[in-house]
Amino acid sequence: MNNSQENCLVLTGHVVKPPKTSTSPAGIQHCQFSMDHKSIQNEAGMNRQAFVRIQVVATGKVSQHLTRDLIEGCNVKVTGFINRHESRNGNPLLVLHAQQIEMI
C-alpha cells in the first residue's frame, strides 16, 4: 500500500446533533457529532448547490480540547481525513476524522 496518497478534507458547516463522548475499552476517548455543509459550487460553468451531512469523530486526548465548546447549531471548520466505517446494520459510512476543529 502506498502511504504517500493524500487524504485531507476541510469542511465548514454547523453541528446538527449534540456531540456524544465515549471511552473505548482501551481507554481512548472519542467524541462524535454530525455536521451539515451547504454551499454553492461552480461546476462546468454552472452553479450547483452542494449539501452533505457527515459524521465527525475526534479521537484521543486532543478530542476533549477540540470538542469541549461544541453545541448543536454552532458553526465549525473541521480539518481531517475521511475513512470508511460500518454502521451497526453493516452499511458503509463515510466519516471525517477530525485533526483540527475551529469555531467560526
* Count of structural domains, the chain: 1
CATH number at residue 70: 2.40.50.140
d(CA 50, CA 61): 33
Is 4 within a domain? no
Is 73 within a domain? yes
**Strand, helix or coil for residue 64:** helix
Is 26 within a domain? yes
User: Using one digit for the tens of pLDDT, what is the confidence trace for 1-27?
Assistant: 566 689 999 999 999 988 898 888 888
Long-range contacts made by residues 24-30, C-beta under 8 angstroms, separation at least 24?
28/59, 28/60, 29/59, 29/60, 29/61, 29/63, 29/64, 30/57, 30/58, 30/59, 30/63
Is 2 within a domain? no
User: What count of residues does the chain have?
Assistant: 104
Is 1 within a domain? no
Minimum mean pLDDT among 45-49, 67-71, 78-82, 97-101: which range? 67-71
Beta-carbon contacts of 69 under 8 Å, excluding residues fewer than 6 positions away, are 103
User: Using one digit for the tens of pLDDT, what is the confidence trace for 22-41?
Assistant: 888 888 888 999 999 999 99
For 22, the domain range is 9-103
Please give the model's pTM, rounded to 2 decimal places: 0.85
User: Using one digit for the tens of pLDDT, what is the confidence trace for 83-95?
Assistant: 998 888 888 999 9
